[in-house]
Amino acid sequence: MANVNHTLTLTSSDLTTDPISLTILNTIAGATKGGMSRIPLATTAIAGATVLATAAQWPTAGAKCWFYNPATFNGSAATDIITVSFDETADHVVLKGGDWAIIPWMGNVNSVPKNIEAFGSSGAMTIEFGIFQ
């Protein structure tokens, strides 16, 4: 078993009238499965999207998923977006180039096992993905 730590630090001196300085540390104590991967995406639509994790691999609540779009943001929505789906249809997270997300995952949607799948807005995109439990 291993501990997996992720830290989020937010700072700003001009976003609000008072400076912001916030650090959050989250630890998954005793993680027994998981890892990081860099995965090429196979399609540009949900039909045939690349499966990142199957519900069968992660049947119980408590997994934490990390997603990162390593593409360089160029301001064009047409060439740098990765869509990550949690229900194989409509529930999704959209990551522009350089965006990342950490999301808890239960392995199902409304008690129905669902895979995590991803697709890009253009061919030959890659996602960096990690899941730990």
Task: Give residue 108's pLDDT.
Answer: 67
Task: Give residue 119's pLDDT.
Answer: 92
Task: Give residue 14's pLDDT.
Answer: 81
For the chain, what is the largest distance between any 2 Cα atoms, rounded to a whole number of angstroms?
48
| Identity at 96, one-letter amino acid code | K
Query: What's the rounded Cα separation, in Å, for the pair 112 and 115?
Result: 10
* pTM of the model as a whole: 0.81
Q: Quick: pLDDT tens for 98-107.
A: 999 988 887 7
What per-residue string of b and e applies to 16-43 under the rule 16 or more CB within 10 Å gives b?
A: eeeeeeeeeeeebeebeebeeeeeebbe
Closest CA to 127 of 106, 100, 87: 100
**Residue intervals in the chain for CATH 2.60.120:** 33-132
Query: What's the rounded Cα separation, in Å, for the pair 4 and 30?
Result: 8
Closest CA to 85 of 99, 73, 103, 111: 103
CATH code for 33-132? 2.60.120
DSSP assignment, residue 132?
E
| Identity at 118, one-letter amino acid code | A
